[in-house]
């Protein structure tokens, strides 16, 4: 019988850890989010972060900019937050306006406060298995693997997607010599030839390509474990719009031994892992007296 891997019990455990750590260490973690424009999905995500953060004891401050914000204004605000020792985490919400240089924004954020873990310093440390922040979505997948005691050692894991946000860091983390690693990893992307032949080899499939319902049952072998990272909005005759993953959940359900739903799966854990990064940063700054 197929097991549904829900995110809620995983997030419950993470939020409990955050509350306990804050109380035991008398911490006052603070996250500053910058958002430009009125993208509905971005606004929803930020509002959810504010709500979740405040519930677990993390102060979430949102700085809103108009769509015509200048590069200088954003950079200047980031520098101020870098210098403010009461702020433990900085996040610049995507998407950014088209005229903004995304790479400069990423490089301006202090790596010690980089909650998205996109700064080259954090990426480099992650690749070298050094202590660093981990991007929240790959971290969420690892938490799902750990919580549901999914064996990865020696397993063939196929990652669909090669983005810097999910696909590449995900593959790297699965290669680590630890309880959620030691896997044989294949990355597939838009130029991969004969894709179904590769995905059918997967013991575990991680879908992160941003294409709604892309993975169908004829791409999977019986007994596969499916972890769906995708969150896509599609039209719905009854509701107008609804969220679906990169995997055809209903079509693939019977083929899978375990599968994550969308919504209610990996996405819910992603928020929790970002807030856990804020906690980690606050603990480090307190231990050292200040960021140094």
As a 3-state breakdown, the chain gives helix, strand, coil percent values, each rounded to 5, of: 40, 20, 40
pLDDT at 197: 98
Beta carbons of 193 and 148 less than 8 angstroms apart: no
CATH class of the domain comprising 25-110: alpha beta
Tokens of 211: 């294409």
- DSSP E strand boundaries for the chain: 3-4, 30-36, 59-65, 89-92, 156-160, 184-188, 204-207, 224-228, 232-236, 240-244, 256-259
Q: Is 136-267 assigned to CATH 3.40.50.720?
A: yes
Residue 51: helix, strand or coil by DSSP? helix
User: What mean pLDDT comes out for the span 287-291?
Assistant: 57
Q: Residue 56: how many CB atoms within 10 A of its CB?
A: 21
User: Would you say residue 291 has pLDDT above 50?
Assistant: no
pLDDT at 292: 43
Domain boundary assignment for the chain: 25-110, 136-267
Instruction: Tell me how far the alpha carbon of residue 29 is from its chain's centroid.
Output: 20
Mean pLDDT of 150-162: 99
- Predicted TM-score (pTM) of the model is 0.94
Mean pLDDT in residue range 2-14:
98
Would the CATH topology of 25-110 be identical to that of 136-267? yes
Task: In whole angstroms, give the CA distance from residue 214 to residue 247.
Answer: 6
Q: What is the mean pLDDT of the chain?
A: 95
Mean pLDDT lowest among 174-178, 183-187, 190-194, 232-236: 232-236
How far is Cα 222 from Cα 217, in angstroms, rounded to an integer?
A: 9
CA distance 257 to 237: 30
The average pLDDT across 242-252 equals 96
Model confidence pLDDT, tens digit, residues 60-72? 999 999 999 999 9
- Helix 8-25 with 136-147: angle, nearest 10 deg: 110
How far is the CA of 37 from the CAs of 72, 210, 211, in angstroms? 16, 22, 24
Query: What percent of the chain is predicted at pLDDT more than 70?
Result: 98
Distance CA 171, CA 181 (A): 9
CA-CA distance, 226 to 199, in Å (whole number)?
11
Averaged over 118-142, what is the pLDDT? 95
């Amino acid at each position: 019988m197929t097991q549904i891997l829900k995110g809620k019990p995983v997030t419950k455990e993470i939020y409990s850890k955050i509350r306990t750590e804050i109380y035991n260490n008398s911490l006052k973690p603070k996250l500053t989010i910058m958002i430009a424009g009125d993208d509905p999905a971005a606004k929803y995500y930020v509002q959810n972060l504010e709500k979740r953060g405040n519930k677990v004891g993390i102060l979430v401050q949102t700085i809103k900019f108009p769509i015509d914000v200048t590069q200088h204004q954003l950079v200047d605000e980031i520098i101020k937050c870098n210098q403010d020792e009461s702020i433990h985490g900085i996040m610049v919400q995507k998407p950014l306006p088209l005229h903004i240089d995304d790479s400069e924004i990423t490089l301006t954020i202090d790596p010690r406060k980089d909650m998205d873990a996109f700064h080259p310093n954090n990426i480099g440390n992650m690749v070298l298995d050094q202590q660093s922040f981990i991007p929240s979505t790959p971290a969420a997948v690892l938490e799902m693997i750990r919580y549901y005691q999914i064996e990865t050692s020696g397993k063939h894991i196929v990652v669909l997607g090669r983005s810097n946000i999910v696909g590449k860091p995900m593959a790297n983390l699965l290669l680590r010599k630890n309880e959620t690693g030691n896997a044989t990893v294949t990355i597939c992307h838009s130029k991969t030839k004969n894709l179904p032949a590769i995905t059918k080899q997967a013991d575990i499939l991680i879908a992160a390509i941003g294409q709604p319902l892309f993975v169908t049952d004829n791409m999977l072998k019986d007994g596969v474990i499916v972890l769906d990272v995708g969150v896509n909005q599609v039209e719905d005759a009854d509701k107008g719009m609804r969220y679906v993953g990169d995997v055809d959940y209903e079509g693939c359900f019977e083929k899978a031994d375990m599968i994550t739903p969308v919504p209610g799966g990996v996405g819910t854990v992603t928020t929790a892992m970002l807030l856990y990064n804020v906690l980690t940063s606050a603990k480090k700054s307190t231990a050292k007296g200040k960021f140094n």
